Structure 1
Amino acid sequence: MMASSSPPSPTAVPLLTRVTLLLTAALTIMSGATIAPSLPAMQQHFAALPNAAVLVRLTVTVVGLAIALSAPLSGWLTDRIGRKRVLVAALVLYALAGSSGLYAPDLPALMLGRVLLGLAVGATMTAGSALAADLFVGEARARFLGFQSAFTSLGGVLFLPLGGLLAGVGWRAPFAVYLSALLIVPLALRLPRGEVTAPGGVAEAAGIPWRLVGPAYAVALAYMVVFYLMPTQLPYRLEGLGVPPASVGFVMGISTLSGALAALWFARRGGTKRPAVTAGFSLLALGTGWAIVSLAPGAGWVAPGLMIGGAGAGMVTPNLNTFLAALAPAHARGRVLSGLSASIFLGQFLSPLLAQPFVQGTDVSPAFRIGAIFAAGLAGALLLIGIKTSRSGLAPGN
C-alpha cells in the first residue's frame, strides 16, 4: 500500500532537512508580499488601462486563484510521485515565473507569470508541509509545523522591507527577489522522498474525515479573506496617511513579525488540544487589529493594530496545519494539505474582490472595518463551538 517505510523519530531528522523545509516555507508569503509595496507605482504605470486599480491588485492575488485551482493536482502528485520530486520542480518554476515581472512587456504577460508562480507556490507549500508531517509525529509535528509558519511570517519580515526598498528603484525591481528560490534547489535535492501511495493502492478518499476537514477549509478561506487586506489594501491606507513608498514595506513587516512570534509561541507549546478555541481567539485578535487600522488617525496608530492583527493571524495557519496533518491518513496527506493550501490562497484571490465594494475612492479604511466585524463574528462562532463541547470535535490525533 505504501512505498516508504515508517517515518524516523523526530530526533533522527537531519538538521539540513529541517533547515531546507523552513527555508522553503519562507517562500510562501514572499509570493505576494514582495511586490505589495510596488502596487501604487504599478497602478500609475498601467493607469491608462480600464479598471487598473483592481487589475493591479490582482497581480498579487491571482497567485491565489492559480493555487486554488491547481492544488488538487499538486496534492495528488505529491502523494503519488513523492514530496521531493514535486518540491524541486516547484522551486525551479517559482524562480522562473516569479522573476517574469522583470521583463513582462504588458499587464497580461505579467498576469501569466503570476499564474505560473501560483502553480509553483501551491506545489511548494503542499509538498513541504506533507514532508514535514511525514517526518514528525505528535507534539514534535505541531512544534515543527509551528516553526514552518513562523518562517513563513519571517519571510515577510525580510521580503516586505526589501520589496519596499526595491520599489523605490522601480516597480519592476522587487521581482528579482524571486530568483532566490534557486539557492534552495541544491538543498532540496538532498531531502528524503517522503510517503508515496502505490498506484492501485488505497482508494482516493479512504479514511479522510471530511466532516471535520471541510469546516477547517472554510475557516482557512474566511481567515485569509480578512488577513489579505494587509498586502492588498494597506499600502493605499499608508499612502493616505503620508507614509513614503520606501517605508511601506517596513510598516507592513510589523504584522508579519508579530505573526512569526505568535507561531513560535504555538511551536513552543507543541500545539493545542482545542483547535476551535485557538482559531476563535486568533480571529478575534485579527479582527481587533484590523479595527484599529481602520480607525487610525495617523501612521503611528497603525503599528499596534498590525501587531495585534498579525499575532492573531500567525496562530491560524499552524493550528489548522497541525489539525489536518493529524487527521489525514499518510496515503492522503498531500491531498488533504493541498486542500488547505487551496482554501488559503482562494481567500487571497477573493480578498480584493470582496473588499472593493467597501473601498471609497482612495479610502480603504471601510474595508478594514468590515473585515474586522466579519472576523469577530466568525471568532464568536468558533469560541462557542469550542467552549460548549467538553471534548473538542476538532481535536486531532497523532
Structure 2
Amino acid sequence: MSLAGTVPRAGAGRVIWSVGYVHGLSHLYMLALPPLFPLLSRDLGASLAGLAGILGAFNLITAATQYLAGVAVDRFGGLRCLRIGLALSLLSLALAALAPGFWTLAGAFALCGLANAVYHPGDFQLLNSRVPAARRPFALSVHNFAGNVGFALAPALLAPVGFTLGWRAALGLAVILGLPGLLALFLLPGDAPQPRPGRRAPGQRTGLAEVAGPAVLLQLLIFTLFSLVSGGVQSFSVLAGAGHFGYGLSDLNRILALYLLVGTTGIVLGGTLLQRGWSETTAFASGIVLAMAGWGLAWSGLGGLQGYSAGMLVIGFAMGFILPARDVIVARMTPPHLQGRIYGFVTTGINIGQFGAPVLVAPMVQGGHTGLYYAFLMAALVASLLAGLSSRTARPKVQTKGHP
C-alpha cells in the first residue's frame, strides 16, 4: 500500500493538530508519576520499588491490550476510540489524584495503562485516513514532536506543581490539560465507515496471523529496539555518566535536558526531508548511523565533558530525526482495513522497550558495569540499522485485494 491508499476528508489541519495535542497528552500521562515519586513515597509510605512497579504494570497492560485496541479501531474508527480512551485516561487520573493509598493509586494507573493502549492505533488510523498523502510526513512529524513535548512537560511542569502544591494538584493539572484535547476530538467530524476486507482467498490467514507476517514483525523489532535505546538513555545515562566518567550529576542532568530538546529539532528536519522526497529507508538509516556516531563519541570519553555533551546532542538529534521515517515505513505497508491492528501490534514495541530498559539496563549501571551499558545500547542501535535496511526488501504478507 502507498501513502495515498486512503481518501482524506476535510479539515486535515484540525485533525493533525488535534491528534498531535492528544498524543502529547498520552506521553505526559506515561511519565506523570516518576517526577512525583519522592512525594508519593513520603505521603503514601510507598517504596520506590513499589512505585516503579506501578509504572511497569502500566506499560505491561498497554502492551497486552494494544493489539485489541487496534482491532477496535479497525471496527469502530480511530476517532471514536480516541474519544473513549482519552475520557478513560482523565477518569483514571482523577481517581489517582484522589487516591487515599498505594493500592488505589495502583488501580487508577492500571486503568490509565488500559486507556493508553488506544492512542497509537487510533492516532495513526485517523492521520492516515484523513490527511492527504502529501501532508502525511508533516502530520507524522507533528505527532512525534507533540509526544516529545509531552515527555518533557512531565518533569518540567508536573514536578514544580507537585513540589509546590502537592502531588494531588499535579495530577489534577494533568486532568485539566486533557479537557481541551477531549473537546477537540468531539469537535472533529465523526468517523467514516471503516474499510472492509475483500473476499478472502482460500487459505488466507485471519486474525493476528493476518497481521504478524515477517515485514510487520520486523517493524515490531524496530519499535522495540528504538524504545529500548530511548528508555536506556533517558533513564540511565545520568547515572552511567557519573559512574563511568565521574561527571557531576547537575551537569549530566542539564545535558539530558538538552538531549531531549534537540530531539524535537531532529523530528522537524526529518519530517521536512521526507516531505521533500527523501526515501524513508534512507532517512531512517542515516539517523541510526548518526545516533551510533553520537553514542560512540559520548562513550569514548574524548574531549571530556564537552565531548560527552557533543555526543549526547548528536544522538538526541538523531533519535528525533528517525521518528518520522520510522512511522512512514509502517504507513506505506499498511492496508486501510488493518491500520488499527498493525499499528497496535508494532507500537507494542514501544512498551516492550520501555519495560525492558530498566530490567536489562538497571543491573548493568547499578552493578558498576557501565562499559557494558554503553556497549549494549550501541549493539541495539546496530541491530536497529540492520532491521531498517532489511525493511527495503521485506513485504507485508497481508491481503490487500479489494482495497483502494
Q: Distance in 1 between matches of 2:52 and 2:180?
A: 29
For the 8 Å contact 1:94–1:117, the answer to whether it is kept is yes
What residue is the counterpart of 2:28 in the other structure?
Answer: 30
What residue is the counterpart of 2:383 in the other structure?
Answer: 378
Work out which of the residue numbers 213, 219, 229 in structure 1 matches 2:216.
213
Q: Distance in 1 between matches of 2:314 and 2:228?
A: 17
Work out which of the residue numbers 86, 90, 95 in structure 2 matches 1:91.
86
Instruction: Write the mapping of 1:46-195 to structure 2, written as runs, cut at 5 A.
Output: 49=47, 52-53=48-49, 55-169=50-164, 170=166, 174-179=170-175, 180-194=177-191
Q: What is the aligned-residue RMSD (CA, Å)?
A: 3.8
Deviations 1:282-334 (A, max 9, x none): 33444555556667799877654442232222234322221212211111111
Work out which of the residue numbers 284, 287, 290 in structure 2 matches 1:282.
287
Q: Distance in 1 between matches of 2:56 and 2:308?
A: 23
Distance change in 2, residues 1:65/1:200 (3 Å): same
For the 8 Å contact 1:287–1:372, the answer to whether it is kept is no
What is the one-letter code of the residue matched to 1:279?
F
Offset, 1:188? 0.4
Instruction: Write the mapping of 1:355-394 to structure 2, written as runs, cut at 5 A.
Output: 355-360=361-366, 365=370, 368-382=373-387, 385=390, 392-393=392-393
What residue is the counterpart of 1:389 in the other structure?
Answer: none
Q: Distance in 2 between matches of 1:366 and 1:351?
A: 16
For the 8 Å contact 1:223–1:283, the answer to whether it is kept is no
Offset, 1:127? 0.8
- The reply on whether 1:8 has 2:11 as its aligned counterpart is no
For the 8 Å contact 2:270–2:322, the answer to whether it is kept is no
What residue is the counterpart of 1:264 in the other structure?
Answer: 268
Aligned residues, how many? 381
For the 8 Å contact 2:225–2:381, the answer to whether it is kept is no
Work out which of the residue numbers 225, 229, 234 in structure 1 matches 2:232.
229
TM-score w.r.t. the length of structure 2 is 0.78
Deviations 1:240-283 (A, max 9, x none): 86557xx95x7644233222211111221235764444333433
Work out which of the residue numbers 326, 336, 341 in structure 1 matches 2:342.
336
Q: Distance in 2 between matches of 1:317 and 1:105?
A: 39
Gaps in structure 1 of 5+ consecutive residues: 387-391
Offset, 1:142? 2.1
What is the one-letter code of the residue matched to 1:324?
V
Identity of aligned residues (%): 19
For the 8 Å contact 2:15–2:188, the answer to whether it is kept is yes
For the 8 Å contact 2:214–2:394, the answer to whether it is kept is no
Q: Distance in 2 between matches of 1:367 and 1:30?
A: 31
What residue is the counterpart of 1:347 in the other structure?
Answer: 353
What residue is the counterpart of 1:319 in the other structure?
Answer: 325
SS in 1 for 2:187: coil
SS in 2 for 1:359: helix
Gaps in structure 2 of 5+ consecutive residues: 201-205
Deviations 1:161-216 (A, max 9, x none): 11342353355554334201122111101223345447897665598582211101
What residue is the counterpart of 2:203 in the other structure?
Answer: none
Q: Distance in 2 between matches of 1:370 and 1:113?
A: 37
